[in-house]
A and B are shown apart, each in its own frame.
Chain A
Amino acid sequence: MIKLSELHLGVLTALGGIALLLASAHFVPMPGQAYGAGTMPRLIGWSAILLGAFMVATSLRHLPDMLKPHLSDWVYKPRLALAALAVIATIVSYIVFADWLGFIPVSFVSLFVLMLVLRTRPLTALFASAVSTLVVYYGFSRLLMVPLPRSEFLSFLG
């Protein structure tokens, strides 16, 4: 993604700290106590502000090179960027479709597609995604009784 300098990280950390302080402003102490739900977030918030300030102060010496963030190398290579997106898409598609279609078809198809995107040979990909789907399915749902998503209308698959 993006590579940040000590200066950027310092600013981000301090801003995170401030956000945390604001977000925990509404926590009131526990009845009869000086402490409560807000104590810990405030402690973290102040630590973040101090740390951020320190990072900014120390990086001011190298100011010019610290100003411009630069992008990671892979961003410029369509194939690699596509691979990263495909990995994320695989997880997202599982979250979206698994409850609806059931574990076996979703796992098999998304593995197969991901392997193709990563340039596994089609036959190997077919075999590998089938085997891993079945191993995971039987291992988890039969042996270890994990209730993997099962489909309503594809229930004959398990």
Chain B
Amino acid sequence: MLILEQAAALVFQPYVLGVILASAAFGMLVGAIPGLTATMATALLVPMTFFMDPVPAIASIVTATAMAIFAGDIPAALLRMPGTPANAAYVEDAYRMTQSGRSDEALGAALVFSAIGGLFGSFVLMTLAPALAEVALKFSSEEYFWLVVLGLSCAVFVTPGSPTRGLISLLIGLFVATIGIENPAGEARFSFGNLELLAGVQFIPAMIGLFAVSEVLRTVTATIPRQKIPRSDGHGIFKTQWQNLKKYPVQTARGSITGTALGILPGAGADIAAWISYAISKRFSKQKDKFGKGHVEGLVEAGASNNSAVSGAWIPALVFGIPGDSITAIVIGVLYIKGINPGPTIFINDPQSIYAIFMVFILANLIMLPLGWLAIRGARPLLSIPPSTLMPMILIFCIVGAFAINNSMAGIVMMLIFGIIGFFMEENDIPIAPAILGMVLGPMLEQNFITSMIKGDGNFLHFFERPIAGGLGALTILIWLLPVLMLVLRRGRKTQAIA
């Protein structure tokens, strides 16, 4: 108890609370602007943390990143401009909800379920960190390979409409991911001697192009002028969430658990978590056909999932100093500078600081609610601007966002190219989501496949030799064979009946 009191004394000081508030506002701002990522928010904070005590230093990063991940949902819902690949999983639903005047409900759901997921992840971090970190240490490339194949199977579920067009989209995404030199062989592919292509296609500009620029093009070429978006029905941001929570308790829990589990694995993370959770949600939903058309269910589950993954990533980071994503990589550095060395003994050597950090996690996810509410309210006037004025404004944000990710004009060129591709795809009913999934998973698929093959000296059975890998492999194959088996069984029964 004494430790908790000491920890609380470290956190509940005007200075620390002030830092938390300021970082929260900063994170909200950075996250709400497409092109600026939570990683960038963290990197910008680092020089400031040099002059702070350990607890406020870590607190500022924890708060800013939690905020930034949620804030990525604001442009996603309002402008169809997802801030991160994690937000892209459910952007279609959120945007369609906005179009039908339910922006408050969509953003409220993103906010509340982000907070719930974040809190769940934090509790797991507090109670089970050492044990779970051990599990994360058991994952090698074979295990990740099967996880990625499972993730790719999601493409089937995230595709609304014709499966063949979903597959085209997935293949486009996978192909785009092969461009450049960042592949296991270290060989330049399809870059045609171009320096920027050598670096590969940057995610964020491509995403801004596919979603936002194509949407701008669609709006200005609509033959029936777009109706002004109806004002949100005044239901309030939080009010609807209570019903959503009552309606989707299983989804909330499932999303939080999946997200935390994938967050703990250093090779997975928030991006994959959101996609897998969205796919699970659709697979088990009673209203499958509503997904992708402005349905809140997938948003609830995937929203909880990506924020819990952010908390989960701290588990291997604190226990073994293993970065689960680029944010925790920066955090580990800050921890070292502040003399809190990550490792299994961190809970014994420095319990006050660790418990203080845990408290910050909870505070950050709680403070998200009022600040998120303010941000949602503040962004609302955007919707009352007529499209003829709003679209150019969105465009300049797209341009600067695509530039900011690598501070290069090449980002804007990419954005333009992908904007036209996205426009073409949508005019031909080819969904965009699977392409993003392909871009997220393509490099991981290749990396883990090639390295496993090298380790196994080219023997494919190697993928089943390790116990966890074998289990995951069997599960994946089962999932793929199940529909076929069912079909065969049904056919068999039919013929029997006829006979």
Residues of B within 8 A of A54 (CB): 164
* Dominant SS among interface residues on chain B: helix
Knowing A33-B453, A37-B183, A147-B407, say if A88 contacts B416 (CB, 8 Å). Answer: yes
Q: How far is the CA of A43 from the CA of B420 in the complex (A)?
A: 26
Instruction: Report if B33 contacts A (CB, 8 A).
Output: yes
How many chain A residues sit at the interface, stated as a range, is 35 or more
Residues of B within 8 A of A2 (CB): 424, 427
B175 touches A41 (CB 8 A): yes
Knowing A44-B174, A87-B395, say if A120 contacts B223 (CB, 8 Å). Answer: no
Instruction: Report if B388 contacts A (CB, 8 A).
Output: yes
Residues of B within 8 A of A16 (CB): 171, 175
Q: How far is the CA of A30 from the CA of B186 in the complex (A)?
A: 10
Q: How far is the CA of A34 from the CA of B61 in the complex (A)?
A: 44
Instruction: Report if A157 contacts B (CB, 8 A).
Output: no
A34 touches B453 (CB 8 A): yes
Instruction: Report if B30 contacts A (CB, 8 A).
Output: yes
Residues of B within 8 A of A115 (CB): 388-389, 392
Residues of A within 8 A of B388 (CB): 115, 118-120
Interface residues of B, count at CB 8 A: 63
Residues of A within 8 A of B217 (CB): 84, 87-88
Residue-wise, chain A 65-88 has the 8 Å CB interface mask toward B (1 for contact) of 000000011100100110110111
A148 touches B403 (CB 8 A): yes
Q: Which B residues, 22 to 76, have Cβ-Cβ distances below 8 Å to chain A?
A: 29-30, 33, 36, 40, 44
Instruction: Report if A36 contacts B (CB, 8 A).
Output: yes
Residues of B within 8 A of A23 (CB): 190
Knowing A128-B393, A144-B30, say if A1 contacts B453 (CB, 8 Å). Answer: no
Instruction: Report if B449 contacts A (CB, 8 A).
Output: yes
Q: How far is the CA of A54 from the CA of B189 in the complex (A)?
A: 28
Q: How far is the CA of A9 from the CA of B429 in the complex (A)?
A: 11
| In the complex, residue of chain B having the shortest beta-carbon distance to the beta carbon of A133 | B396
Q: How far is the CA of A115 from the CA of B185 in the complex (A)?
A: 48
A136 touches B221 (CB 8 A): no
Instruction: Report if A3 contacts B (CB, 8 A).
Output: yes
Knowing A40-B178, A87-B220, say if A51 contacts B171 (CB, 8 Å). Answer: yes
Minimum distance in angstroms from A48 CB to a CB of chain B: 5
B44 touches A144 (CB 8 A): yes
Q: How far is the CA of A92 from the CA of B395 in the complex (A)?
A: 12
Q: How far is the CA of A125 from the CA of B458 in the complex (A)?
A: 63
Instruction: Report if A55 contacts B (CB, 8 A).
Output: yes
| In the complex, residue of chain A having the shortest beta-carbon distance to the beta carbon of B395 | A90
Q: How far is the CA of A90 from the CA of B213 in the complex (A)?
A: 12
A51 touches B167 (CB 8 A): yes
Residues of A within 8 A of B419 (CB): 91
A120 touches B386 (CB 8 A): yes
Minimum distance in angstroms from A76 CB to a CB of chain B: 9
B189 touches A73 (CB 8 A): no
Residues of B within 8 A of A80 (CB): 220-223
| In the complex, residue of chain B having the shortest beta-carbon distance to the beta carbon of A141 | B400
Minimum distance in angstroms from B402 CB to a CB of chain A: 9
Checking A47, A88, A128, A147 against B389 with a beta-carbon cut-off of 8 angstroms, the contacting residue is A128
A72 touches B407 (CB 8 A): no
Q: Which residues of B pack against A, CB within 8 Å? A: 29-30, 33, 36, 40, 44, 164-165, 167-168, 171, 174-175, 178, 183-185, 187, 189-190, 213, 216-217, 220-223, 385-389, 391-393, 395-397, 399-400, 403-404, 407, 409, 412-413, 415-416, 419-420, 423-424, 427-428, 430, 442, 445-446, 449-450, 453-454, 458
| Interchain Cβ contacts under 8 Å between A and B, 7 examples | A72-B427, A80-B222, A86-B220, A88-B416, A118-B220, A140-B33, A145-B44
The 10 closest A-B pairs by CB, nearest first: A37-B187, A74-B221, A37-B185, A83-B220, A118-B388, A114-B392, A40-B446, A146-B404, A120-B388, A132-B393
